[in-house]
């Protein structure tokens, strides 16, 4: 069995049936159970996709076969698997989800003890190879399934990041995109003073309204209209597995990952001066400026949750931000959470006594950035090599893909870790500068 196609840089992702099915999931479960460094139970959860229960059951079967007990924690947001493992000192965890990918996809995200990430260079390749070669440890006794509901404990944990008595009664619109946030955000609502207009809270892994990817502008059309219709103070759009959240101001302008990272980093550095803050390779200069201004220590990381979690442990970082809308917190077992980030964002807004657009204006006005531009290409490495040759070596970083710094800005081209794409991100001081950078990058990628 060859699993090379579905094992990505930091998770498993593939088309259901042709690439990922129950047999494959069971085999991966056996391999994962054997690989985990610590003894003890493993938590398994799943999202709402039509095939997620079947795949989760198969994954559980594989883990049980190798003699490990399993906590079946049911339908959850991905950030809840990290909480379940970290808060209960479990050996590891896995959640069946394909995040924001279309409905024909599914996947598995993993973590080990203390909610530590597992990437290609920290165990994922070993798990893949064990499964591919059917190399399993002999087991004399199967494990047992223990059904657990961690939702109440999770909500209590989320609320611990704020003083709820200082939250203002904002009118907010929340678009769950028919994903898992529809189930879990509803559990938070009784504990916060917000007037919530719910959009697409019904769990439906076929995504009948729009793909649950809030980074694509077309998926924000409905929530922006709703914000205007109900005169809301702001909106929150979640991705399919609920571990990413995008805030949208009262004027219908979404906060980029860079802007959100800057806002949260400033708050955290005021609470804990001198803290280490991690930004991924494509997070923009506004967040860098905030960290420098407030005396933080900046560390850059590759894009991806496993890489960032491992980097957070190395540097004992207090917070990490990704341009893609993932935000990580030391107090959250070094893991990311869309729910915590969203609530903390509303808390910072409450303390500011400003409108959201006013709060983030200084970050927005400093630089101009493009939304991520994706290119389908035949030979990613060839294009990266051609692009690199067009610039002075001193202006280039290889931390993640290829980052080129210019006098007026920067751009990054990197292969997607989950899709057959090259991704372009760019930023500059002015719109004219940005247009020139994009024009140059496009010509190298497309020609």
Closest to 97 (Cα-Cα) out of 27, 49, 42, 44: 49
Q: What are phi and psi of 54, to 5 degrees?
A: -60, -45
Nearest-10 Cα torsion for 174, 84, 15, 412? 70
Mean pLDDT over each residue of the chain, to the nearest integer: 95
Q: From residue 54, give the alpha-carbon distance in Å to each of 26, 42, 47, 212, 335.
A: 10, 18, 11, 22, 27
**Neighbour tally for 225: CB within 10 Å:** 12
Please report the pLDDT score of residue 418 as a whole number: 61
Please report the pLDDT score of residue 304 as a whole number: 81
Domains of the chain: 12-149 (3.40.120.10), 154-248 (3.40.120.10), 257-366 (3.40.120.10), 369-446 (3.30.310.50)
Residue 252's SS3 state is coil
- Please check the confidence at residue 372 and state whether its pLDDT lies above 90: no
- Please check the confidence at residue 2 and state whether its pLDDT lies above 80: no
Q: From residue 303, give the alpha-carbon distance in Å to each of 14, 139, 190, 306, 359.
A: 20, 37, 35, 9, 27
Mean pLDDT of 319-335: 96
pLDDT band at 306 (very low <50, low <70, confident <90, very high): confident
- Please check the confidence at residue 297 and state whether its pLDDT lies above 90: yes
pLDDT digits (tens, 9 = 90+) for 314-325: 999 999 999 889
pLDDT band at 331 (very low <50, low <70, confident <90, very high): very high
Mean pLDDT of 337-346: 98
Q: From residue 18, give the alpha-carbon distance in Å to each of 51, 93, 161.
A: 13, 25, 42
Helix segments in 17-51, DSSP class H: 22-35
pLDDT digits (tens, 9 = 90+) for 125-136: 999 999 999 999
- Please check the confidence at residue 349 and state whether its pLDDT lies above 80: yes
- Please check the confidence at residue 313 and state whether its pLDDT lies above 70: yes
Say whether 408 is catalytic.
no
- Please check the confidence at residue 420 and state whether its pLDDT lies above 80: no
Percent of the chain predicted with pLDDT > 70 = 99
Mean pLDDT of 391-409: 93
Q: Which of 52, 78, 99, 337 is catalytic?
A: 99
Helix segments in 36-113, DSSP class H: 52-65, 78-87
Tell me the two tokens of residue 403.
């980052």
The model's pTM = 0.94
pLDDT band at 217 (very low <50, low <70, confident <90, very high): very high
């Amino acid at each position: 069995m060859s699993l090379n196609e579905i094992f990505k840089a930091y998770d498993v992702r593939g088309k259901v049936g042709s690439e990922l099915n129950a047999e494959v999931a069971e085999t991966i479960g056996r391999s994962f159970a054997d690989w985990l460094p610590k003894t003890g139970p493993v938590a398994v959860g799943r999202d709402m996709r039509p095939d997620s229960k079947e795949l989760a059951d198969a994954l559980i079967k594989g883990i049980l076969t190798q003699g490990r007990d399993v906590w079946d924690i049911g339908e959850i947001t991905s950030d809840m698997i990290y909480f379940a493992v970290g808060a209960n000192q479990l050996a590891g965890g896995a959640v069946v989800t394909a995040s924001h990918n279309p409905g024909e996809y599914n996947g598995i995200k993993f973590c080990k003890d203390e909610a530590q990430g597992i990437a290609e260079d920290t165990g994922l390749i070993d798990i893949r190879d064990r499964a591919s070669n059917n190399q399993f440890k002999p087991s004399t006794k199967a494990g047992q399934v223990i059904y657990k509901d961690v939702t109440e404990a999770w909500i209590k944990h989320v609320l611990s990041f704020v003083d709820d008595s200082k939250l203002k009664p904002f009118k907010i619109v929340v678009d769950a995109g028919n994903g898992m946030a529809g189930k879990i955000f509803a559990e938070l609502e009784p504990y916060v003073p917000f007037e919530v207009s719910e959009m697409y809270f019904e769990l439906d892994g076929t995504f009948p309204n729009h793909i649950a990817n809030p980074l694509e502008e077309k998926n924000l059309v409905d929530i922006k209209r709703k914000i205007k219709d109900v005169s809301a103070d702001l909106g929150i759009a979640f991705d399919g597995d609920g571990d990413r959240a995008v805030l949208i101001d009262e004027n219908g302008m979404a906060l980029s990952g860079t802007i959100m990272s800057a806002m949260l980093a400033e708050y955290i550095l005021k609470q804990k001066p001198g803290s280490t803050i991690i930004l991924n390779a494509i997070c923009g200069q506004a967040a860098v400026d905030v960290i420098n201004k407030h005396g933080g220590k900046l560390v850059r990381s590759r894009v991806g949750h496993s890489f960032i979690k491992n980097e957070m442990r190395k540097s004992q970082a207090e917070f990490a931000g990704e341009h893609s809308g993932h935000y990580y917190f030391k107090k959250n077992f070094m893991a990311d959470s869309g729910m915590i980030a969203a609530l903390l964002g509303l808390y910072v807004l409450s303390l500011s006594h400003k409108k959201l657009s006013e709060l983030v204006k200084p970050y927005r006005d400093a630089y101009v950035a493009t939304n991520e531009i994706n290119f389908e290409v035949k030979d990613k490495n060839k294009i990266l090599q051609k692009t690199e040759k067009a610039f002075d070596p001193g202006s280039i970083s290889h931390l993640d893909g290829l980052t080129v710094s210019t006098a007026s800005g920067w751009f990054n081209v990197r292969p997607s870790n989950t899709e057959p794409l090259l991704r372009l991100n760019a930023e500059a001081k002015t719109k004219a500068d940005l247009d020139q950078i994009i024009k140059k990058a496009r010509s190298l990628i497309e020609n």
